[in-house]
Amino acid sequence: MTLHLLVKVKKADQDIVRLFDDQMVSQLYDEKILLFDKDMNLIYSSVGDTPLRYPGEIINRLKAGEKEISYTEDGFDVIAHHIRYKNADYYALGKAYDNYGRSKLRFLGGILLGTFCLALLLMFLLNAIISRKITTPISRLISEMDQITANNLQRVYQPSSNDEIARLSAEFNKMLNRMELAFNYQKNLVHHISHELKTPIAVLISNIERQTANSTSAKNEFLDFQKAGLMQLADIINTLLEISRFEQIRPEHLAHEIHLLDLLFECAEEIQYITPDTHVEMKVDESVHDASTLNVPGNERLLKIAFRNLIKNAADYSTDKHLHVRLSKNNGALHVAIENNGPALSTLEQKKLFIEYFRGANSQNKSGFGLGLVMVNKILQLHQATIEYHINAENRNEFLICFARPV
């Protein structure tokens, strides 16, 4: 519009042009406007000292038909324009530094950048909130599932919603119900069968004893052999019954405080009474500073069965009947180590040590059924304790029992 107006007044009084130049044209910073006619005669030049070069290539492009050409020169914006007015051609060149426009662009750029950063932050926050809302029930389900054991088939939390997590929790609880029924059936089956077999076996043993009193020595030898076999069968049944009972122990039956050192002394005395040639040496490590820290929560009868079996087992498989029992503390846990000088187990045998009916190569010519350590392991699991076998630094067999709960 400015250039068209300048064309219209080019023949007017120069004072009007100068006034227009001062009021309208020079409002831009360091602006320069040149206006040429078709013969490239300068007919107008705005006020100002800003140099404006106009390459011949630009003019030629305007003459060739281009209406407007824009480019940058030394940080200034330059516009070349072709004007057609009353069948006459004019060429105008303008150069200026648009400080106001550039500040607006910078301001707009700042707004866009801030808006982008804010939107990005909101997106991350929204994503974190949604992700947490989605993963929280999954994490809770995993945590509750991790606490489920054969002796603790607690049900997982089932949300009131009808989403996939709720349906998964419901199906998992149904599966736990079926597993509990199967476990109970298995436990009751073993218990009932073992209980029913006790009576006929006891009758058979009683009959054999009566026959032995009235039989010859040759026949008595045969009857004694049969009686020994029945006694072993009775021992197996009693052990299976004990294991079945252990699996049905409730947590409230494991809450009594038991002084472990006293219990170990009692077990050792019982074993030494049965086998007088057995020597059990007790030792309390320096890490135990207070006798009260040797207390563990549990069931005294069950722990006595477990440690009596361990001490008897160590005595039976020892070469010199000399045992070491050591109590120590490590990181708040109470450790009981039972050592002997017997033959070492192979790596393969160590892996099968707590499997039902397994007996190692060192058990030849020794009575047993491979159930004693299984029963010990189950009792210790009920007390949240662990047991492991290894060869210690002194090249001796060692069973290490760890009560990890705070005492």
CATH number assigned to the domain covering 164-246: 1.10.287.130
When pLDDT is cut at 50, 70 and 90, the band that residue 352 belongs to is confident
Q: Which residue has the higher pLDDT, 186 or 352?
A: 352
CATH number assigned to the domain covering 251-403: 3.30.565.10
When pLDDT is cut at 50, 70 and 90, the band that residue 49 belongs to is low
Q: Which residue has the higher pLDDT, 205 or 248?
A: 205
CATH topology of domain 2-97: Beta-Lactamase (3.30.450)
Torsion of CA 155, 156, 161, 166, to 10 degrees: -100
Report pLDDT digits (tens) over 215-235: 666 677 777 777 777 776 776
Report pLDDT digits (tens) over 253-275: 666 888 888 999 998 888 888 88
Q: Is the pTM of this model over 0.85?
A: no
Contacts of 337 (CB under 8 A, 6+ apart): 324, 325, 326, 327, 328, 392, 398, 399, 400, 401
